[in-house]
């Protein structure tokens, strides 16, 4: 049974539709949906005595074995509800963590989810598990004098410290990978957005890859990074990240901080929005809140309105009254609007690529080595005197900087013939 609670003064953007989707995605068979309106939460049961009695009757009549609350319950509220309803009670945070646990496949993802689960479980031990509040005693059972509750709390604390230590190593490994990517001066663009907005589908369309994408919440948890080559411009590193959600658990955000660091390192964020969602504005606000929490609110953002094949809107650029680009409408499924999106991306972060030719003397080997690091060598040949003739593609900004530096040092090789765009 699903219990959806709306408090006085709150807006209900989707009438519990997202909560129902979360429940079915977790594998639950939904027998009933109860919507409740209250002025304020009851400290003991959140719902109040009368509504709990009504709910208990429905649970008994339908033989319900699990009640899911679309609210964050305190340990006391969860314990009291389970006693009154005679079945398991799971709140919104517990449901989201369960879905994450099912979807985590990589070693890092499993560590992050377990850390979030144990951090939450430690608070549940404080007042929820009274059957553990007893000391072990008797012949052969005399211990250090701590209760079973204290023992469990200590063991959980030790496991949390172990997981955090292992995640520090994972974060260090990810930072090493990031530094290796930064040696090649390629801009990074990260896809962010509400879960099930179509980020992974758009990622696959742009990079022509086959990352897992499905019409389900949190289909992908692990970040994927691919190289995106745009004709006439330098390559771009495109990163797909985990989807966000309203009231995303703080412990989960903290556990996934190493993964979300890819967002903080990006030069541009593509905020992918499900243009067909009735609560689109609420979803945008939820993503903005998470970006602020992880410190990514200052990174430039480009709004991408996805699923125009469902909305019927014309694909392409959307401008403000001042003429500034406000958003790009696309369909990740059909590919419409993708050329306009690529153009907008390259205008924000991309640099034009040029094709140049150089002839270098044997004494200019350092310059040749540098070109091999920062440019894409198309052709290279040597004559009998050891002169190296190179044809290469290089982004315009790097080329101008190299020419200025080499001319100031008296290098004649930089007096090269005029360059042309790399795309012809």
Contact present, 228 and 206 (Cβ < 8 Å): yes
Does the annotation list 333 as a binding residue?
yes
Q: Is residue 133 in some structural domain?
A: no
Shared domain for 413 and 297, answered yes or no, is no
Shared domain for 235 and 290, answered yes or no, is yes
Q: Is residue 195 in some structural domain?
A: yes
Q: Which residue has the higher pLDDT, 222 or 10?
A: 10
Cα angle value 338/233/213 (rounded, 5°)? 35
Q: Indicate if the pLDDT at residue 420 is higher than 80.
A: no
Residue ending a domain, among 350, 368, 390, is 350
**Distance in Å from the first CA to the final CA of the chain:** 63
Q: Is residue 119 in some structural domain?
A: no
Q: Is residue 111 in some structural domain?
A: no
CB under 8 Å to 29, separation ≥6 — which residues?
none
Does the annotation list 119 as a binding residue?
no
Shared domain for 92 and 194, answered yes or no, is no
Shared domain for 227 and 270, answered yes or no, is yes
Rounded-to-integer distance, Cα 180 and Cα 378, Å: 23
Q: Is residue 395 in some structural domain?
A: yes
Shared domain for 259 and 386, answered yes or no, is no
Does the annotation list 181 as a binding residue?
no
Q: How many Cα atoms are found within 13 Å in the side-chain-facing hemisphere of 257? A: 15
Does the annotation list 241 as a binding residue?
yes
Residue 91 tokens read as: 């709140």
Does the annotation list 359 as a binding residue?
no
> For residue 328, what pLDDT is reported?
94
Does the annotation list 324 as a binding residue?
no
Q: Which residue has the higher pLDDT, 160 or 150?
A: 160
Q: Which residue has the higher pLDDT, 413 or 311?
A: 311
Does the annotation list 307 as a binding residue?
yes
Does the annotation list 218 as a binding residue?
yes
Q: How many Cα atoms are found within 13 Å in the side-chain-facing hemisphere of 131? A: 1
Shared domain for 303 and 342, answered yes or no, is yes
Residue 258 tokens read as: 């190493």
Rounded-to-integer distance, Cα 229 and Cα 206, Å: 9
Least confident of 170-179, 305-314, 344-353: 170-179
pLDDT band at residue 251 using 50, 70 and 90 as cut-offs: low
> For residue 259, what pLDDT is reported?
61
Q: Indicate if the pLDDT at residue 58 is higher than 90.
A: yes
Q: Is residue 162 in some structural domain?
A: no
> For residue 127, what pLDDT is reported?
44
CB under 8 Å to 156, separation ≥6 — which residues?
118, 121, 122, 125
Does the annotation list 128 as a binding residue?
no
> For residue 56, what pLDDT is reported?
93
Does the annotation list 319 as a binding residue?
no
Shared domain for 376 and 279, answered yes or no, is no
Does the annotation list 259 as a binding residue?
no
Q: How many Cα atoms are found within 13 Å in the side-chain-facing hemisphere of 130? A: 6
Does the annotation list 311 as a binding residue?
no
pLDDT band at residue 142 using 50, 70 and 90 as cut-offs: very low
Contact present, 227 and 245 (Cβ < 8 Å): no
Does the annotation list 198 as a binding residue?
yes
Q: Which residue has the higher pLDDT, 139 or 40?
A: 40
Q: Please classify residue 308 by burial: count the beta carbons closer than 10 Å to its beta carbon, then call 0-12 exposed, 13-18 middle and 19+ buried.
A: buried
Kindly report the CATH number assigned to the domain that includes residue 387.
3.30.70.240
Residue ending a domain, among 318, 350, 382, is 350
Does the annotation list 242 as a binding residue?
yes
Q: Which among 197, 192, 205 has a CA at the least distance from the CA of 335?
A: 205
Q: Which residue has the higher pLDDT, 249 or 359?
A: 359
- pLDDT tens column, 267-295: 889 999 998 888 888 889 888 988 888 77
Q: Which among 93, 86, 27 has a CA at the least distance from the CA of 62?
A: 86
Does the annotation list 200 as a binding residue?
yes
Does the annotation list 220 as a binding residue?
yes
Rounded-to-integer distance, Cα 98 and Cα 416, Å: 62
Q: What's the pTM value of the predicted model, to 2 decimals?
A: 0.66
> For residue 381, what pLDDT is reported?
92
Q: Indicate if the pLDDT at residue 254 is higher than 80.
A: no
Rounded-to-integer distance, Cα 277 and Cα 245, Å: 14
Shared domain for 280 and 237, answered yes or no, is yes
Q: Is residue 117 in some structural domain?
A: no
> For residue 240, what pLDDT is reported?
85
**59 lies in which domain range?**
2-100
Kindly report the CATH number assigned to the domain that includes residue 63.
3.40.50.11060
Does the annotation list 383 as a binding residue?
no
Shared domain for 414 and 380, answered yes or no, is yes
Across all residues in the chain, what is the average pLDDT? Answer: 79
Shared domain for 231 and 368, answered yes or no, is no
Q: Span 32-43, mean pLDDT?
A: 90
Does the annotation list 74 as a binding residue?
no
Q: Is residue 265 in some structural domain?
A: yes
Does the annotation list 240 as a binding residue?
yes
Q: Span 195-213, mean pLDDT?
A: 78
Shared domain for 299 and 376, answered yes or no, is no
Residue ending a domain, among 62, 85, 100, is 100
Output the 3-class SS for the chain.
Answer: CEEEEEECCCCCCCCCHHHHHHHHHCCCCCCCEEEEEECCCECCCECCHHHHHHHHHHHHHHCCCEEEECCCCCHHHHHHHHHHHCCEEECHHHHHHHHHHHHCCCHHHHHHHHHHHHHHHHHHCCCCCHHHCCECCCCCCCCCCCEHHHHHHHHHHHHHHHHHHHHHHHHHHHHHHHHHHHHCCCCEEEEEEECCCCHHHHHHHHHCCCCCCCCCCCCCCCCEEEEECCCCECCEEEEECCCECCCCCHHHHHHCHHHHHHHHCCCEEEEEEECCCCCHHHHHHHHHHHHHHCCCCCCCEEEEEECHHHHCCCCEEEECCCCCEEEEECCCCCCCCHHHHHHHHHHHCCCEEEEEEEEECHHHHHHHHHHHHHCEEEEEEECCCCCEEEEEEEEHHHHHHHHHHHHHCCCHHHCCCCCEECCC
Does the annotation list 331 as a binding residue?
yes
Kindly report the CATH number assigned to the domain that includes residue 240.
3.40.50.300
Q: Indicate if the pLDDT at residue 214 is higher than 60.
A: no
> For residue 182, what pLDDT is reported?
55
Does the annotation list 94 as a binding residue?
no
Number of domains making up the chain: 3
> For residue 111, what pLDDT is reported?
82
Shared domain for 23 and 74, answered yes or no, is yes
């Amino acid at each position: 049974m699903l219990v959806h609670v709306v408090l006085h003064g709150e807006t209900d953007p989707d009438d519990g539709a997202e909560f129902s989707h979360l429940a079915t995605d977790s594998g639950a068979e939904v027998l009933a949906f109860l919507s409740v309106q209250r002025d304020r939460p009851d400290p003991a049961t959140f719902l109040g005595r009368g509504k709990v009695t009504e709910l208990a009757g429905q649970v008994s009549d339908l033989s319900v074995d699990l009640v899911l609350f679309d609210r964050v319950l305190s340990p006391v509220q969860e314990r009291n509800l389970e006693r009154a309803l005679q079945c398991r009670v799971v709140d919104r945070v517990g449901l989201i963590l369960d879905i994450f646990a099912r979807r985590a496949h990589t070693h890092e993802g499993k560590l992050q989810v377990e850390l979030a689960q144990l951090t939450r479980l430690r608070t549940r031990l404080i007042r929820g598990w009274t059957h553990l509040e007893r000391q072990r005693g008797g012949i052969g059972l005399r211990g250090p004098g701590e209760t079973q509750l204290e023992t469990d709390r200590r063991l959980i604390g030790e496991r949390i410290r172990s997981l955090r230590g292992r995640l520090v190593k994972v974060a260090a490994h990810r930072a090493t990978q990031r530094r290796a990517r930064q040696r090649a001066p390629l801009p990074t663009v990260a896809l962010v957005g509400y879960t099930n907005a179509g980020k992974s589908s758009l990622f696959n369309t742009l990079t022509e890859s086959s990352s897992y994408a499905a019409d389900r919440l949190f289909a992908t948890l692990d970040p994927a990074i691919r190289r995106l080559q745009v004709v006439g411009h330098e390559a771009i590193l495109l990163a797909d990240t985990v989807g966000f959600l309203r009231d995303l658990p703080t412990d989960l955000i903290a556990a996934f901080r190493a993964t979300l660091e890819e967002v903080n390192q990006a030069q541009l964020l593509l905020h992918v929005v499900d243009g067909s969602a009735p609560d689109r504005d609420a979803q945008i606000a939820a993503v903005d809140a998470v970006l602020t929490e992880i410190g990514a609110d200052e990174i430039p953002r480009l709004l991408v309105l996805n699923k125009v094949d469902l909305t019927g809107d014309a694909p392409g650029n959307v401008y403000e009254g001042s003429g500034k680009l406000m958003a790009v409408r696309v369909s990740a499924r059909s590919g419409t609007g993708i050329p306009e999106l690529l153009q907008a991306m390259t205008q924000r972060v991309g640099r034009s690529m040029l094709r140049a030719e150089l002839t270098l003397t044997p004494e200019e080997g350092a310059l040749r080595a540098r070109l091999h690091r920062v440019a894409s060598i198309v052709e290279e040949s040597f004559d009998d005197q050891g002169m190296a003739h190179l044809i290469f593609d290089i982004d315009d900004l790097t080329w101008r900087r190299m020419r200025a530096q080499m001319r100031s040092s008296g290098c004649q090789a930089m007096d090269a013939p005029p360059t042309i765009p790399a795309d012809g």
